[in-house]
Structure 1
């Protein structure tokens, strides 16, 4: 091979390599970050009561008001123990579909607002992304005025204007949220 042919081939490879790398699933791009986030959130819904077991008892007035909205939505039944001043909540047949965590949908990341430069942490390149998202598969009970008023954090999340922050790790098959 002539030296000029080798030089042209090397130059062509050098110029094309960045473009080939840009289409890789592991490249640090907004598109790849969105794919990693959305793949994760399909299996990780947002929930009202992450660590609650039923029957559940409370004497706290704020918790009682919140749980009573789930009673009005026919997800819980309520009995009152007057002697110890607590309300006891049990799951209804309708509520069994959502109990015990009462998940109200999963995130769909729409835009990446910013991300940190990828740096090695825990053996992987990691980045921290800030993103906007909407909620998918929100059940009817979660959209009721009483429930939205009782759970303002959930109301903000399902409003369509929510933002989130997540750490993503770079893997050979794309960016993933470490579990």
Structure 2
């Protein structure tokens, strides 16, 4: 191989590498790398938590209302909440049994405060991470372009309390998330700073349902 041919091959290889780097660094390019980055960035700011809405502790519920007590009792079993019972007067001559729940020492260390609502928070058990981009709708690299992404996500390093059978029974979304790769979809929009998630149907955990089918807020 003469020196001129060798030089040409080196130049072609360098140009190819430069092009690959340019494509990889272009956050507005319509490719799986940028889609994955956009969805993972969204998930990093939106951890998966047990309750669909932030909770405030201590809280008190009627002991006989199992649709409300069951999720809290599961967290008592995991040492995240402390439970006490009491009598509460509802009329001058009547009363009802109530159950009080508050954060335990272990629960406080696992508690994620809601910065928008002082005194409220949630128990978060990790964040999703894209494992594969399965498909995307036709789009361009132009600012303002949108695309529908179908993908799979996984979970890792979930705390022990989240993996417990009691928690999975009380919070079905946890059982789903931790069972293996899950399918999901998201809408991405191209911005001046690259692709960003603008709509993701699976962003929030599914509402907690008790055995009677009622949704626990």
Global fold match (TM > 0.5): yes
Query: Match of 2:195?
Result: 175
Q: 1:131 aligns to what SS in structure 2?
A: strand
Once the two structures are superposed, the pairs formed by residues 17-166 of structure 1 within 5 Å of their partners are: 23=24, 24-49=26-51, 50-59=53-62, 60-82=65-87, 83-99=95-111, 100-118=121-139, 124-166=144-186
Deviation at 1:131, TM superposition (A): 1.5
Q: How many positions carry a matched residue from both structures?
A: 159
How far has the Cα of 1:22 moved from its partner? 5.0
Shift of 1:167: 2.1
CA distance in 1, matches of 2:82, 2:183: 34
Q: State the alpha-carbon separation in 1 of the partners of residues 147 and 168 from structure 2.
A: 33
Quote the offset at 1:136 in angstroms: 3.0
Q: SS of the counterpart of 1:84?
A: strand
Q: How far apart are residue 134 of structure 1 and its match?
A: 0.7
Normalising by the residue count of structure 2, what TM-score does the alignment of the two structures yield? 0.64
Superposed CA RMSD: 2.5
Gaps in structure 2 of 5+ consecutive residues: 1-15, 88-94, 112-120, 200-217
Q: How far apart are residue 128 of structure 1 and its match?
A: 2.5
Cα distance in 1, alignment partners of residues 109 and 189 from structure 2:
33
Separation in 1 of the partners of 2:59 and 2:145? 42
Deviation of residue 88 (structure 1)? Answer: 1.9
- Map Cα deviations across residues 83-139 of structure 1 (whole Å, 9 max, x no partner): 3343221111110123231001001111122323348xxx83222222211113311
TM-score (norm 1): 0.76
